A and B are shown apart, each in its own frame.
Chain A
Amino acid sequence: MRTYQELIEKALEKKTAISEIILNEEAENTGQPRELLLKKMQQNYFVMQEAVANGLTGKWKSFSGLVGGDAALMENFRIQKKSLLGERVNQAAARAIAVAEVNAGMGRIVAAPTAGSCGVLPGVLLTVRDILGCSDEKVIMSLFTAAGLGMVIAERASVSGAEGGCQAEIGSAAGMAAAAAVELAGGLPATTAHAAALALKSFLGLVCDPVAGLVEVPCVKRNAMAAVIALTAAEMALAGIKSAIPLDEVIDAMASIGRSMPCSLKETAQGGLAVTPTALNIKSRGQIL
């Protein structure tokens, strides 16, 4: 099975970034030219930005009525200069919620790695771009690093809530975002791994317990939490803090935790938050459509 460590070694050997290694491998494996792959990734980046802008209007409501309008609340709070987190971190969280709300309201998003966790990467990367003034080209390249880590996780563990619980979706998204943020900030390949490991460790054991089986509660708000944790993990790694457990071992731990998680906590809506009195009440009211 592939490891993230081998990506780091290849990057060191070729004196380049993880994103370059991933882009070259993808070109080799698919036979598609580099320019085409960059163009496809640029399309993803456009849709991410479009979804952020869409979501911040606050006009999106899910069909169940359970989620919608929270991104705008967060944004207004920032505009009123009341933010505790600071403007930038507030923005990362608001953008993550925005995209997840667009998803819940049947708007267009990029699954990253899944639809339920689609807000984390745009929330983090657009914000790091704004802080550092990075070019769009650099952000697009950093998405290849995120995808490369996603591929390692998909092979060694899973990115599906039904297989591995929420840790596999929102945890993977946070790890991918942290790694990409470090690369965007000019961190070394090994630093991207520490950031991803720190982020991923914060979500180990997180179960998938959606109310009424919908990608709404708690999914939408978890996108904001994951964006903030990813930023924190990137900052810690860039500051020189190391994960005591290497990334590949953290991923394996996530896989093993996912396997021992009962089915009731893996996207079946039969445990956790999904069976709280309030959740059951929501479900029985059939507050849907």
Chain B
Amino acid sequence: MLKIKNLRAEIEGKEILKGINLEINAGEVHAIMGPNGSGKSTLASIIAGRDIYTITEGCIEFEGKNLLDLSVEDRSRAGIFLAFQYPVEIPGVSITNFMRAAVDEHRKFQGLETLTASQFLKLMKEKKELVEMEAKLEGRAVNEGFSGGEKKKNEVFQMAMLDPKLKILDETDSGLDIDALRIVADGVNKLKTTKNASLVITHYQRLLDYIVPDVVHVLYNGKIVKTGTKELAMELEERGYDWIKKDNYTLID
């Protein structure tokens, strides 16, 4: 589904990604772990289409298409979804209007008829229940005045509404208490099928107790330095990141 080949990217002349190789197939859950500043969120942003980074080398293919040629909105319509680490507040835009516009665009792209008002509201209701989102939130402006937990639930809710092929969760666990974490993770798990895939970016192993990965990668200093199974995540939890850093100094030396 997703193939990243030798991806190098920089911001303001500073290289952040230094040759990433990653392949994710349908039905798989991949986790990317790594210390702060290793380039995890940059990778997520680049896949979603954030234009503040310059790609200097490499390519990203999504279902055989060159992803880097697509606009941000076309990537979303093609089936990529980024759950933001820090969801943006958009004063004045209600969640209902926002989702209505997004779902319409997705359906148009897929050559489907747009939903009627009642079909749409039914879909909203169904997906809200998935993340135990309170009804009062839908009339409110997107993320405005939401708590950390509400913002993350809202991300998973939008994910459920748009039913993406590739779900990228960027530090979705940050700022969540254990109950909210469980609800958010349950939501993500319920959306899992053999046809879609997930890329879970996290600093801590905690989230991976709930969303169990098939493959775990360790990103350090702009490169994937280790790939393994979920046991790798356990090891990182126990030993921290220092041994990775040390090993890599040895590699560089």
Are A and B interaction partners?
A: no
Q: State the A residues within 8 Å of B (CB).
A: none
